Amino acid sequence: MVRSFLALLALAPLGVPLMVAEPGKAIGNNRSCQAPMQGRYAVMGMGSSLPVKGSTTPEARLLQERWLPGGAVRGEIIERVGQSRRSGSYTGRVTVVGTCLVRVERQLPWGAQVSEAVLDSKGRPLYSLDRSSGTVITGRWLPMAPGACKASDLNGVVLSSQVGSNWQQNSWRPNAVVQREEWAGGSVKGIALSSYNGVGETVGYTGNLQLDRGSCWGTLVERDAKGVPFNYRALVVNGRNGARGYLYLQTDPTNLTVGWLVRE
């Protein structure tokens, strides 16, 4: 399946516009916005579902999505809904629905999902909003260069600021973390400034990233100075000259954090 994706991308490299018009409207007649750009994108989404029994359930997801010729969409997703986790491959379509505005319809393994995204002046999606009933989720999009990734692509300094939730006393409580990391060959050493439900802490940690074979997806395991493990699925966002950084989604059931960690 991955090979077929890459073959299609070889026919439609990053930077080629998708010619998918809204019925009755032509594409390319608005000078302020180019047609949607074919290519591969990393997407990070976070928000919540509607209240259940007086409380909201946090949701977060990572996607690697390819926009192909003719408006076809294919991708892979991992998603957290509260303490549960699910993942899989999907197909879909992207359609222009307004000036610099597209609708992305996905057929996920567990059902249909719809979001709308705004495009920048080059036709690249930058931010999106989930349009599925019962959710309040925004998305952040990052273009990816073609090809597989290497753990060493992250070598150097990586910085991040992120927010999430942790399950405590039968409810989800807010957390926030600021990190500085140094990467070398898939190993990381870092320091984290954190606040969990208003209790602050500064801790050091180490970890290791194992990428899936021939992929930009991987598994990241980190341990703090006390030996406590923290587990993530990661998506390396490769650029033209090494990685731009990586996205990650925590997989520990009682901690839900998603972040964009930027390589300096």
Look at residues 76, 110, 144 and tell me which one is the last residue of a structural domain.
144
> And the tokens for 239?
């650029």
**pLDDT tens profile 117-164:** 999 999 999 999 999 888 999 999 999 999 889 999 999 999 999 999
Domain with 224, as residue range(s), is 151-263
**pLDDT tens profile 180-203:** 999 999 999 999 999 999 999 999
**Quick one: pLDDT at residue 50?**
80
* 32 and 114 together in one domain: yes
**pLDDT tens profile 224-247:** 999 999 999 999 999 988 899 999
How far apart are the C-alpha atoms of 41 and 127, rounded to whole Å? Answer: 12
Q: What radius of gyration do the chain's Cα atoms show?
A: 19
**Quick one: pLDDT at residue 53?**
66
How far apart are the C-alpha atoms of 77 and 85, rounded to whole Å? Answer: 11
Looking at residue 162, which CATH number applies to its domain?
2.40.128
**Quick one: pLDDT at residue 241?**
81
Percent of the chain with pLDDT over 90: 79
* 84 and 208 together in one domain: no
* 158 and 254 together in one domain: yes
* 11 and 139 together in one domain: yes
* 136 and 8 together in one domain: yes
Q: Which phi and psi (to 5°) does residue 91 adopt?
A: -125, 170
Among the listed ranges 4-13, 62-71, 76-85, 95-104, which one has the minimum average pLDDT value?
A: 4-13
**Amino acid type, 161:** S
Measured CA to CA in angstroms, residue 123 lies from 16, 38, 103 at distances of 10, 9, 13
* 158 and 131 together in one domain: no
* Number of residues that make up the chain: 264
* 98 and 197 together in one domain: no
**Quick one: pLDDT at residue 213?**
95
- The more confident residue out of 3 and 138 is 138
3-state secondary structure 150-172: CHHHHCEEEEEEEEEEEEECCEE
**Quick one: pLDDT at residue 255?**
96
Average pLDDT, the chain: 89
* 179 and 254 together in one domain: yes
* 251 and 176 together in one domain: yes
Residue of 122, 157, 125 whose CA lies nearest to 138: 125
The total of structural domains in the chain comes to 2
Residue of 125, 83, 128, 87 whose CA lies nearest to 108: 87
Measured CA to CA in angstroms, residue 222 lies from 59, 119, 145, 188 at distances of 22, 35, 27, 8
First to last CA, the chain: 33
**Quick one: pLDDT at residue 110?**
96
Q: Which phi and psi (to 5°) does residue 251 adopt?
A: -110, -5
Is residue 102 scored above 70 in pLDDT?
yes
* 255 and 174 together in one domain: yes
* 130 and 167 together in one domain: no
Is residue 63 scored above 80 in pLDDT?
yes
Band of the pLDDT at 17, cuts 50, 70, 90?
low
